[in-house]
Structure 1
Amino acid sequence: MIFVVIFLSINMKGLIRISKKSAITSDAPLVSICVPARNEERDIGACLESLLAQNYPNFEIIAVDDHSSDRTGEIIQSLADINDRLRFIQGQPLAKGWLGKPFALHQAQSVAKGEFLLFTDADLVFEPLALASAVQLAQERNADLTTLMPATIFGSFWERCIQPVIFGFIASLTRFEKILDKDKHNAMGFGAFLMFKREAYDSIGGHESVRDEILEDVMLAKRVKRSGLNLVVADGKEIFSIRMYHSLKEIWQGWRKNIFIALRKSVFWNIYYIFMILMFVPAPYFLMGANIYLGGEWTLVLSFCSLLLVLATSIGLAIELKLNPLYTLIFPLGAIMMVAIMLDSMFQVVILKRSEWRGRVYQQ
């Protein structure tokens, strides 16, 4: 447990922190921003308005309505009618062998003219200097792919309860220093912000090379590293934000489609990490309670020390996520809920042999 606390502290220090830069006023490369949207009427307006308000002189936005059944297309079109920078594309019927998001982004990039291609999501909000800051980082680091983590907005009880635990789990599996080492194959990609040099994107086969991947962002990042190209992963919490899910149902469905696949569809690793999560987060609380009830001086001291380590790690995570540290007290419940989602994710793939998202069912 002490090792985990030390590792997480050191690991996060290996992460590049991007801050707001000054605006670029000259020689700004054209950036094509590609936004896929399927049933995103709740968020697409705010996302596109924040992109249109970028303090950057040379960009275009290509938004693809992926056969939404709500007002998504209507909202995009209304904004495109009054903004020359925004182009609205009605998505083609889903091609055989493709998943929805890769296909929508493939269509967007096919008409893009930019030297840089920025693939993002419809539920993000960007600060005015976000694009300028990201382009300067990419140029400074000579990045073929720049991928950024957004700030997370927590609204409901379940968002504050479950999401931090899942983010902490992901951070514990991510080796940021190795990702930034071109000689290592470690990679991570965040679908919220993937900005490629055009030639690098084309050289790895673009979205066509990951057309049937649910975790297409991670797979693209891996292709970049395996091709000997330069991948830069950075913390972008200062320049854009996301509220991923708004309810327990959305959290459950969103992570259910990802977690087991992220663990390479391995029953062994899924069960192993379930055990580790239970041992690291809720178990010290239960042991502390049991020792108080049953007595035993030394066991009480040991369980108290274990609980302090878990609380220290949880508070550090909460501070990193700009969440009130008091919410760490509900992280044990979040861990139990995460385990339930992991079991359901495994059940969906191993037993039902399928994944479902946005009303589409994909066979596994």
Structure 2
Amino acid sequence: MLLLFDVFFYVFIGIVVIQVIYYGIIFGRFATLKRKKTSPKNLPISVIICAKNEAENLETNLPSILSQSYPNFEVVLINDYSSDNTLAVMQSFAQNHDNIKIVDVKPIEAFWGNKKYALTLGIKAAKYNTLLFTDADCKPISKHWISKMTEHFDSKKALVLGYGPYQKIKGSFLNALIRFETFMTAVQYFSYTLIGQTYMAVGRNLAYKRELFYEANGFMNHMNIRSGDDDLFVNQVATLSNTAICITKESFTESVPKKTFSSWFLQKRRHISTATHYKLKHKILLTCFYCSQFLFWALAITLIVAMHQWQLVIALVSLRFIIQYTTLYSAAAKLKEKDLMLFIPFLELFLITFQFFIFIKNLLSKPHHWK
């Protein structure tokens, strides 16, 4: 038994080293990033929103988009064969705003229920070559969203990744967990972008040049996968030279979070199932990080309970937490999520457990996609 715990202890040392590399070096790139000055580009922009049964959200959030302080933009509203009055809401707004274009998608058997087909029609209908995407259940937190996102385009940068936090609800553990997961995901995709390994983005705050879409043959490489119009496309086309990140607060888009664990569980199942289609190097990076997190907690608890080399274990645990907290605090300051930092250990442990159950569930059955 003593030999077994010795093995556990040496594995634990290796796991701590891996965690220090992730938090101290990889994520540290984002945490220590100094924001570069950018200037307004005033590029003509097509804002694209694909909506399926989103009448209420459109009524709530479209005014924030239409009131953007930007000289030249259109809003392309895609009605993906909604069964509610989504189209009527779009038409009502269009009567009062001449910069709205409506794309009404009809069902086609080959692409039934596929959001990527609807988005493709919207992209083709867009007037301008610079495209900015968000969702019907999102709204910009400032009137400078378009301006701040487009400032990062230049002769080389054709893809801009933004941040889309969720609304804060005081006293809600589920809300804190959702926001923490969203924050950690952003820390990862921003950090990996900075080391030339962009693997995903969120469709609720994403911009790219239309030629990038055509060069990649649109979504054809993954059209058979219902999800992934954002992350799988970015995973396919992003490079170190063509991708930029935008973390200015005025560029954020905010969404209403899920209200129940069951609805959030289903949402995360879809997201995690899509990740299985990432490039192999990205799957290795993400899997290694998650496994090292899981093993860090499992081995630390096991060794401390068994009182095996417990002084050294506690020292290593402390080292890892110090580096983790230092990095995430700086990252949270950039993304305006500092209120989450007090609960990092508890939120992290719960999230790791939650993700483990999602992984098992996805092995047993496939999640549903799009509405």
More strand by share: 1
Kept in 2: contact 1:8–1:171 (CA 8 A)? no
- Does residue 1:215 correspond to 2:228, yes or no? yes
Match of 1:231 in 2: 243
CA distance, structure 2, for counterparts of residue 169 and residue 58 of structure 1: 32
Match of 1:203 in 2: 215
Match of 1:243 in 2: 255
Match of 1:362 in 2: none
Q: How far off its partner does 1:151 sit? A: 4.0
Of the candidates 94, 118, 137, which is equivalent to residue 152 of structure 2?
A: 137
CA distance, structure 2, for counterparts of residue 32 and residue 297 of structure 1: 59
Match of 2:272 in 1: 259
Correspondence 1:84-163 to 2 at 5 A: 84-97=98-111, 100-126=114-140, 127-139=142-154, 142-155=156-169, 156-163=172-179
CA distance, structure 2, for counterparts of residue 304 and residue 167 of structure 1: 23
Count of aligned pairs: 344
- Does residue 1:3 correspond to 2:25, yes or no? no
Change (3 A) 1:219 1:29: same
Moved more, 259-268 or 129-138: 259-268
Change (3 A) 1:326 1:129: closer
Instruction: Specify every segment of 5 or more residues in structure 2 that has no aligned partner in the other structure, as ranges.
Output: 1-15
Kept in 1: contact 2:159–2:243 (CA 8 A)? yes
Correspondence 1:1-364 to 2 at 5 A: 1=16, 2-13=20-31, 17=35, 28-97=42-111, 100-126=114-140, 127-139=142-154, 142-155=156-169, 156-165=172-181, 167-168=183-184, 171-172=187-188, 174-179=191-196, 186-213=198-225, 214-225=227-238, 230-243=242-255, 245-247=257-259, 248-264=261-277, 274-280=290-296, 286=301, 290=305, 300-313=314-327, 315-316=329-330, 318-325=332-339, 328-329=342-343, 331-348=345-362, 350-352=363-365, 354-359=366-371
Kept in 1: contact 2:24–2:324 (CA 8 A)? no
> Equivalent residue of 1:329, what SS?
helix
Kept in 1: contact 2:163–2:251 (CA 8 A)? no
Moved more, 119-128 or 265-274: 265-274
CA distance, structure 2, for counterparts of residue 311 and residue 243 of structure 1: 26
| CA RMSD of superposed structures (Å) | 3.8
Q: How far off its partner does 1:257 sit? A: 0.6
TM-score (ref. length: structure 1): 0.76
Change (3 A) 1:346 1:11: farther
Change (3 A) 1:196 1:77: same
Aligned identity (percent) is: 20
Q: How far off its partner does 1:57 sit? A: 1.9
What amino acid is the match of 1:132?
S
Kept in 1: contact 2:161–2:244 (CA 8 A)? yes
Kept in 2: contact 1:47–1:122 (CA 8 A)? yes
Q: How far off its partner does 1:61 sit? A: 0.9
1:273-310 deviations in Å (ceiling 9; x for gaps): 554233446876x579858x999655555544455445
More helix by share: 2
What amino acid is the match of 2:161?
T
> Equivalent residue of 1:118, what SS?
strand
Kept in 2: contact 1:20–1:129 (CA 8 A)? no
